[in-house]
Amino acid sequence: MSKKNAPIPLEEAQARLLALVEPLPVERVDVEGAIGRYLSEPLQARRTQPAADLSAMDGYAVTASDLAGPWRVIGESAAGHPYAGTVGHGEAVRISTGAILPAGAEAVILQEDLARDDGRISLTGELPSPPHKHIRRCGMDFCFGNEVMAAGVKIGPAQAALALAAGHRHLPVRRMPKVAVIDSGDELAADPEACEAHQIPASNGTMLAALFRGLAVEARRIGPVADTLDALTAAFDAAADCDVIVTSGGASVGDHDLVRPALEQWGARLDFWRVAIKPGKPLLVATRERDSARQIIIGLPGNPASSMVTAYHFVLPLLRALLGADKPLPMQIATRLGAPVRANGSRREFLRGFWDGETVMPTTLQDSGALAALAASNVLIDRAAHAPEADAGEEVRGFLLQNGGIA
């Protein structure tokens, strides 16, 4: 095989794909609508949190110079209902968790360390050490003008809460990418309950669309599509308004693998084809210019494990980049093998396995068409090209899959 047509390494292929990305337009949406998307610019706090000194516990607020007691209870400070007066020598204010510390108070003594008798309290337990131990200082979390999130951060549950706490009702994010997922192949049956012996149910499109919906994208399915140039071209026409087109099947070089010629007939330009990984070697990436914008087409192999592995390493990073992610590529984990694995061949391989939080157990069946093994996996074990056999207990690296109910 000539070097020109040789499969390219994973990282090179990912870099070439991400270099094709043109940022999508920025829009401002409410915080809930921003969940699953990425900030397009840094976010500064519009308020200070907490805005005043607060009690971190239920107890009594007293002056720091008067920790011996006893104290006379002069009022109460509750969350949302602060005490209006000032605490002086020999005085205490009943205080709830999250309530503002009264003026003059510099310490909070826990209620379980005190005894109360007819409006007076006395110490029966331990004093706080240091005195301010149970106080949340003004600005402890962030202050007005602080950068609370950087551009490229993904908005999840905690980030949404932080944005609201920082005084923001709306956030700047990039428009949601429109994604079309095309299942192709004469062997595919649209109805799994009406599948002949020469057919298989069309499942890749649903699998891939579900994977992409883990991000904030508009995903729709097209197909299954017959193995003809006209049918494939019509499917591409139906996806002409999409930012990304993902095909499953037909990306190889067989007589019925027509995705590549159909793309060329449709006006797309091939950027690269074939990646040195297993499963997933016959992956292709192409682009098509339309209305001053660029469509990116990724042709995935048809076998389900191959489709999942290549979607994980290419389509998800592409979608994250279009959404403005600072780090679109997946992160690895380090773990140990729960069983031995054989020596590897000439391509980098991603073995399917189940990780229990301590060790990873490779699935017995690694065939790229094995859906049951894929569904039982939650990690891709990363095996370098020509890696020697590895014994149980040896350290390996892997990638966590987004695979339904499995962690």
Phi, psi torsion values for 330, nearest 5 degrees = -70, 150
Residues 347 and 357 in one domain: yes
The whole-number pLDDT of residue 189 equals 85
For residues 258 and 122, membership in a common domain is answered with no
Residue 236 pLDDT greater than 60, yes or no? yes
Same domain, yes or no, for 15 and 85?
no
* Residue 60 placed within a domain: yes
| Domain extent for 165 | 28-48+154-174
pLDDT range class, residue 339, cuts 50, 70, 90? very high
Last residue of a domain, one of 323, 349, 366: 323
Residue appearing with tokens 């840094």: 42
Q: Return mean pLDDT, the chain.
A: 93
Give me the percent of the chain exceeding a pLDDT of 70.
Answer: 96
* 311 shares its domain with 348: no
Whether residues 128 and 110 fall in one domain: yes
Looking up tokens 């990282």, which residue turns up?
A: 11
Q: What is the pLDDT of residue 2?
A: 42
pLDDT of residue 256: 57
Residue 407 placed within a domain: no
Question: Using 50, 70 and 90 to split pLDDT, how confident is the model at 6?
Answer: confident
Quick one: residue 373, left, alpha or beta (phi over 0 = left, psi -120 to 50 = alpha)?
alpha
Is 271 within a domain? yes
pTM metric for this prediction: 0.89
pLDDT band at 406 (very low <50, low <70, confident <90, very high): very low
| pLDDT tier at 4, thresholds 50, 70, 90 | low
Q: Do both 67 and 193 map to the same domain?
A: no
* Mean local confidence (pLDDT), 6-19: 96
**What band does 69 get if pLDDT is binned at 50, 70 and 90?**
confident
φ/ψ of residue 317, rounded to 5: -60, -40
State whether 11 and 43 are in the same domain: no
pLDDT tens readout for residues 86-116: 999 999 999 999 999 999 999 999 999 999 9
pLDDT over 60 (residue 50): yes
What's the confidence (pLDDT) of residue 258? 87
CATH number of the domain that residue 232 is part of:
3.40.980.10
Residue 142 resides in a domain: no
| Token pair 């331990």 in the structure block, residue | 126
Asked if the model's pLDDT at residue 407 lies above 80, the reply is no
pLDDT in tens, 172-194: 999 999 999 999 988 988 888 89
314's tokens: 């290419």
Q: Considering the domain boundaries, does residue 148 fall inside one?
A: no
Residues 270 and 307 in one domain: yes
One domain, residues 207 and 315: yes
Taking only the tens place, the pLDDT of each residue in 278-337 is 999 999 999 999 877 899 999 999 999 999 999 999 999 999 999 999 999 999 999 999
One domain for residues 226 and 302: yes
User: What tokens were used for 1?
Assistant: 């095989």
Could you tell me if 228 and 258 lie in one domain? yes
Please report whether residue 141 resides in a domain: no
Secondary structure string (H, E, C) spanning the chain: CCHHHCCECHHHHHHHHHCCCCCCCEEEEECHHHCCCEECCCEECCCCECCCCEECCCEEEECCCCCCCCEEEEEEEECCECCCCECCCCEEEEECCCCECCECCCEEEEHHHEEEECCEEEECCCCCCCCCCCEECCCCCECCCCEEECCCCECCHHHHHHHHHCCCCEEEEECCCEEEEEEECCCEECCCCCCCCCCEECCHHHHHHHHHCCCCCEEEEEEEECCCHHHHHHHHHHCCCCCEEEEECCCCCCCCCCHHHHHHHHCCEEEEECECEECCCCCEEEEEEECCEEEEEEEECCCHHHHHHHHHHHHHHHHHHHHCCCCCCCCEEEEEECCCECCCCCCEEEEEEEECCCEEEECCCCCCCCHHHHHCCCEEEEECCCCCCECCCCEEEEEECCECCEC
By mean pLDDT, which of 234-238, 239-243, 256-260, 261-265 is the weakest? 256-260
CATH number at residue 395: 2.40.340.10
Considering the domain architecture, whether residues 126 and 228 belong to the same structural domain is answered as: no
Task: Tell me how many domains the chain contains.
Answer: 4
* Domain contains 143: no
Residue 405 scores a pLDDT above 60: no
pLDDT-derived band at 5 (thresholds 50, 70, 90) equals low
Which pLDDT value is given to residue 1?
39
Q: Is 25 exposed, middle or buried (0-12, 13-18, 19+ CB in 10 A)?
A: exposed
For 364-380, what is each residue's pLDDT tens digit?
999 999 999 999 999 99
Phi, psi dihedrals of residue 132, rounded to the nearest 5°: -90, 15
| 189 domain residue, yes or no | yes
Residue ending a domain, choose from 267, 301, 323: 323
